[in-house]
Amino acid sequence: MDHKIVIENPKGSYKSFEIENDPLWKYYPIAGVTYPVDYGYIEGYKSEDGHDLDVFVGSGKLNGYIKVWRYDVPIETKIVMHVTKKEWNEISKIFSQVIKDQKLFNKDKEFKEFLSFYKK
């Protein structure tokens, strides 16, 4: 699969979820994360929050998604691409408090069909 992926947070980098001057962020159960894989977005695809579709990019062959609750958006899909089972488990553990749904695809065709729903 050839997609234009922009990496904003390389593996091992930390991202705080605190939003300055927004009192609601303190109700989010995750203050921030250290990414176990590269994290960014896929150009040309849009998520439920109206922004580019977020993506985790690992070092394996598994593809899937997690759908997370955010305090400012009821649900947001994050694509998980090319991860190992260990990387999938790390992502799931880090976001476990806010995951509302998650799936690993058995076939590339199923993954491509799912991803097509987010094409701009």
Residues 62-116 have pLDDT tens digits of 999 999 988 777 899 999 999 999 999 999 999 999 999 999 999 999 999 999 9
Q: What is the pLDDT of residues 2-45, one digit of tens each?
A: 789 999 999 999 998 776 666 666 667 788 899 999 999 999 99
CB 43 within 8 A of CB 120: no
Q: What are the C-alpha distances in Å from 69 to residues 10, 49, 60, 76, 102?
A: 23, 11, 26, 6, 12
The number of beta carbons lying within 10 Å of the beta carbon of residue 60 is 14
* Token pair 């799936």: residue: 103
Largest CA distance in the chain: 44
**Cα three-residue angle 101-34-60, rounded to 5 degrees:** 65
Task: State pTM to two decimals.
Answer: 0.91
